[in-house]
Amino acid sequence: MYFVRKFSSPLGEEVDPVDLVKNNQEKRSVTRKKNLTTKEREIEELVDRLVSICGVQSKTNTKTMKYRLGELLKLKSNPTIVVPVCPDYGHDGKKYTFNGLFGGVSLLTQKHIEFLDNVTPILPKSAVIFLLADHEADDPDLCRVVEKTREEFADLMLSSLFETRKEILSRGWFATFMTAFIPHLISDEESITKEILNDSSLGGWLRDDTESRRDMYRRINGGISFTEMTRRTAHTTAQYVALGRFATEARYLVCNHTTTNLAWYKRKTNVALLHNDVRVY
């Protein structure tokens, strides 16, 4: 057992070193706040309000994420928030079941609209752009599980795009296909997938992510092997890394739902993240 020994101050009173450290930290915090400009103080308050409504990935290692958000808001008082969303897969009201594909507003899009209705009053000058993952039409496993050809999948994605635009029009928001917004997305995903698979230091994270998705993968393809699962995990991870790097360079905020991929935004990008704590898978 360890004991913390108290000592006497110059005035002869007994002092607990733990309390002394805490008091010094509080004093430094007060001093720092006094030295902030009015603009810096406003941005800090904005960041605090944003983080307070976000999920754990915007709060874990809060100093890092707060710094990223603050630096972006210093540069852009009218930030663009990009919101990646999946196709309109069948769902039970809470999570995707993949029992079909439809052409309406997806479950995830609906969840993000609710979240962003709380974000935009904090950032009233922000622009919001929903990015529909149209390239999922090129995934044979996804086409098979929803019983659609690639062409039928693409047609339903186009319908979802129109329906999403109608849904968000009154808010002044916009929606487009992800591959139209990031023209080099597919090639970036392929190169980043190779980068992840060839980096042995990432192997543990990749295995853990694959294990956490095993049930979902089997819903999509009952005969999938673990090697194929791992490849799919790496490719999905690459999508997030590609978006994160693109958004970092363009100085966009990213709004994302709860997924194991969020950790990769921090591992492989410098993106400023607004984590909407909803689960759809």
CATH code, domain carrying 179:
3.40.50
Q: How far is C-alpha 162 from the chain's CA centre?
A: 24
Q: Is residue 64 over pLDDT 90?
A: no
Q: Helices 107-119 and 150-168: crossing angle, nearest 10°?
A: 30
Q: Is residue 92 over pLDDT 90?
A: yes
Question: pLDDT value at position 167?
Answer: 98
Question: pLDDT value at position 3?
Answer: 44
The token pair that represents 233 in the structure block: 């995990």
Percent of the chain with pLDDT over 90: 73
Q: Which amino acid is at 46?
A: L
Task: Give the model's confidence band at 4: pLDDT under 50 very low, under 70 low, under 90 confident, else very high.
Answer: very low
Whether 247 maps to a domain, the answer reads yes
Whether 10 maps to a domain, the answer reads no
d(CA 239, CA 244): 9
Mean predicted confidence (pLDDT) in 4-12: 51
- Collapse the DSSP code of 41 into the 3-class scheme (helix H, G, I; strand E, B; otherwise coil) and give the result: helix
The token pair that represents 248 in the structure block: 């970092």
Whether 184 maps to a domain, the answer reads yes
Which residues, including other chains, have CB under 8 Å from residue 162's CB and lie 6 or more apart?
Answer: none
Question: pLDDT value at position 222?
Answer: 83
Question: pLDDT value at position 39?
Answer: 84
Whether 2 maps to a domain, the answer reads no
Q: Is residue 31 over pLDDT 50?
A: no
Cross-strand bridge partners of residue 80: 127
Nearest to 275 by CA among 49, 112, 40, 126: 112
Q: Is residue 2 over pLDDT 60?
A: no
Q: How many distinct structural domains can be found in the chain?
A: 1
Query: What are 167-170's contacts with CB under 8 Å, separation 24+?
Result: 167/105, 167/109, 167/113, 168/113, 168/128, 168/130
Which residues, including other chains, have CB under 8 Å from residue 143's CB and lie 6 or more apart?
Answer: 137, 149, 150, 153
d(CA 192, CA 123): 32
Mean predicted confidence (pLDDT) in 50-76: 86
Percent of the chain with pLDDT over 70: 86
Question: pLDDT value at position 219?
Answer: 81
Sign of CA dihedral 44, 170, 252, 267: positive
Query: In this predicted structure, which of 58-72, 109-123, 195-209 has the lowest mean pLDDT?
Result: 58-72
Whether 3 maps to a domain, the answer reads no
Whether 8 maps to a domain, the answer reads no
Whether 216 maps to a domain, the answer reads yes
Whether 88 maps to a domain, the answer reads yes
- Per-residue CA distances from 161 to 52, 157, 234 (Å): 31, 6, 27
Q: Which domain holds residue 167?
A: 16-276
Nearest to 260 by CA among 225, 218, 212: 212
- Per-residue CA distances from 224 to 150, 215, 230, 237 (Å): 20, 11, 10, 18
